[in-house]
Amino acid sequence: MKILTETMLRAAALLEDTTEYRVAPDVFVTPLAREYLRDRRIGLVIMDSEPVVMTRTPLSNHGQRTYIDAGTGAGYSEKPEHMTHLRGNLLVPKTHPRIEFRGMLDSLQAEIICLQAEAFESGHEDLTADLGDILKNVRQILGAEVKDETLEPLPLFGLEDKEIREHSHNVKKYFGTDHPIPDYKMGRMAAELNRLRTKVRETELAAAHAFMGVDGSVERPDIIRCLNRLSSGVYIVFCKWLAGKYKGGRG
């Protein structure tokens, strides 16, 4: 099923004199998207024509226009260089908040893999495994966003959602150390783990830009929640390293 969200409508930058917005009959219009149109007195028109098929083949009744602009509904026979796939044949500008968010997830994966390689080469197998768990979570978040699937709370290191929050808020209880203030004297691995934590925070901020409306509404609270827990998970790893809970680690 194709979907029309408030984010897509905002990206479309509709003209002030727009009075109606047309969608194919098989498009699901989210409640926030309907509210966005209603607040601007733009009528939502469900067309009777044949629905657009989201495949990379010429579309029925569109000649050779294979690609569709997700914001305007315009068709293209070739993908413009300044646009990329949102989903299927739907295109958006490469500066679209959803695309920027995907880029942040991609960069985050690269950061984790580099740190994982360093841990592995240094013989820190337990740390390598925990970083692998974090990497798995990032990939699940990306998959859920691209496929527009609901993301259930993701476990980390055998901990469930509430346990992750509990451990990250009570590091003295679980790891025997106070909440650490990052410092260069902690060593390179600790510094890089702390940097990874900030990268997760930056990715969470990109998700907020992509999925939060100006009215405070949230389109994908599941993704933002999982990123928040992921940040807590990296903080847990940071504290475990400083507390000497990893074999061969600081402590």
Indicate which CATH number applies to the domain containing 107: 1.20.1200.10
**Residues 13-62: pLDDT tens digits?**
677 778 888 888 777 777 777 888 888 888 888 776 443 334 444 444 44
**Residues 86-144: pLDDT tens digits?**
877 888 888 889 999 999 999 999 999 999 999 999 999 999 999 999 999 999 999 99
pLDDT at residue 74 in the model: 77
Q: Domain check: are 78 and 52 in the same one?
A: yes
Q: Domain check: are 104 and 40 in the same one?
A: no
Residue 249 lies in a domain: no
Residue 250 lies in a domain: no
Maximum Cα–Cα distance across the chain: 68
Task: Decide if 222 contacts 150 (C-beta within 8 A).
Answer: yes
Q: Domain check: are 107 and 34 in the same one?
A: no
- Give the list of residues 6+ apart from residue 32 with CB closer than 8 angstroms, or none: 5, 6, 213, 217, 219
The rounded distance, in Å, linking the Cα atoms of 81 and 69 is 13
Residue 179 lies in a domain: yes
Q: Domain check: are 220 and 238 in the same one?
A: yes
| Cα 34 to Cα 31, 37, 42, 45, 219, distances in angstroms | 5, 5, 9, 11, 13
Neighbours of 162 (CB within 10 A): 10
Query: Which residues constitute the domain of residue 10?
Result: 2-93
R_g of the chain computed on alpha carbons: 22
Q: Number of folded domains in the chain? A: 2
**Closest by CA position to 154, among listed 141, 165, 143:** 141
**Residues 232-248: pLDDT tens digits?**
999 999 999 999 999 76
The rounded distance, in Å, linking the Cα atoms of 91 and 66 is 11
Q: Domain check: are 73 and 125 in the same one?
A: no
- Give the list of residues 6+ apart from residue 119 with CB closer than 8 angstroms, or none: 127, 128, 131, 189
Q: Domain check: are 106 and 32 in the same one?
A: no
On the question of pLDDT at 220 being above 70, the answer is yes
Residue 251 lies in a domain: no
What mean pLDDT is predicted for residues 178-195? Answer: 94
Neighbours of 222 (CB within 10 A): 19
Residue 166 lies in a domain: yes
Domain boundary among the residues 93, 114, 129 is at 93
Structure token pair of residue 162: 């509430």
Q: Domain check: are 103 and 188 in the same one?
A: yes
Residue 53 lies in a domain: yes
Q: Domain check: are 25 and 51 in the same one?
A: yes
**Closest by CA position to 86, among listed 71, 108, 76:** 71
Q: Domain check: are 116 and 227 in the same one?
A: yes
Q: Domain check: are 89 and 113 in the same one?
A: no
What mean pLDDT is predicted for residues 165-188? Answer: 93
On the question of pLDDT at 77 being above 70, the answer is yes
Domain boundary among the residues 76, 93, 110 is at 93
Q: Domain check: are 85 and 121 in the same one?
A: no
Domain boundary among the residues 93, 108, 123 is at 93
pLDDT at residue 62 in the model: 47
Q: Domain check: are 52 and 15 in the same one?
A: yes
Residue 72 lies in a domain: yes
Residue 7 lies in a domain: yes
For every residue of 79-117, DSSP letters joined together read --TTEEEEETTEEEETTSHHHHHHHHHHHHHHHHHHHHH
